[in-house]
Amino acid sequence: MQPHAISDSEFGSFQRFIFDIAGITMSDSKKALVSGRLAKRLQHHGLQTYDAYFRLLTSGAHPDEAQLAVDLLTTNETYFFREGRHFDLLRQAAESARPGLRTGAPFRVWSAACSSGEEPYSIAMVLADVLGDAPWDVVASDISTRVLQRARTGHYPMERAQHMPPDYLRRFCLKGIREQQGTLLVERPLRRRVQFRQVNLNTDLPGDLGSYDMIFLRNVMIYFNGDTKRQVVARVISRLRPGGHFVIGHSESLHEINDTLHAVMPSVYRKPA
């Protein structure tokens, strides 16, 4: 039996739910998305109304279900080498850092909202190409355990690689054959270089997260209101090393969000050395 259509008041409950947990402001235009993504969970539990499902989520008796709902409501699709100028900048920064890496700390990059993993694997490909055996780290985080699980597999539809340099596709990926045709698998040595972990940017960051030479926080602020943007950006850039770069989406800006970083180009900022 199909659940009843979601009402405005029920949708409002889920808007508050995802804002309280993740700081995400969900516009009224997302009502159909919420209804569609949660409908199977109502069916799974034999529930007829979204209000009944909301009560189940907030009862405290089903913490795994609450995480699953967060996963469903925060997942976004992406692709390899999205916004190519950012990866050109990454290459330049890594090349500049290379001479001092043998004796110093590794070159570290944080993909702070990595979704299904295409961004951190793109970062890792550039660093493997530029730095090779010199020390480097990629940390990738997301609030969604479901997309992190997918990301760790490194298995993607081939169309996600349309912007990947052909040489990287040959060097770092395996093309699927037979029943896996039309897909790619990021090779294991590269997968092992990316550390995936669950991080909620709307709360205090883990103490062991460390500091970074470059942080990608792209296409995330569009989901936050002004106060949440300021808090999240301040939290994230506290982990940026002096002289490091902070990268956001092309449709985003730090105007009235943060004035401690210097603009390098549209969507790229640098922390004073």
**Is 20 known to be catalytic?**
no
Kindly report the three-state secondary structure assignment for every residue of the chain.
CCCCCCCHHHHHHHHHHHHHHHCCCCCHHHHHHHHHHHHHHHHHCCCCCHHHHHHHHHCCCCHHHHHHHHHHHHCCCCCCCCCHHHHHHHHHHHHHHHHHCCCCCCEEEEECCCCCCHHHHHHHHHHHHHHCCCCEEEEEEECCHHHHHHHHHCEEEHHHHCCCCHHHHHHHEEECCHHHCCEEEECHHHHCCEEEEECCCCCCCCHHHCCEEEEEECCCHHHCCHHHHHHHHHHHHCCEEEEEEEEECCCCCCCCCCCCCEEEECCEEECCC
Q: Which is catalytic among the residues 142, 191, 213, 218?
A: 142
**Is 142 known to be catalytic?**
yes
Active site residues: 37, 142
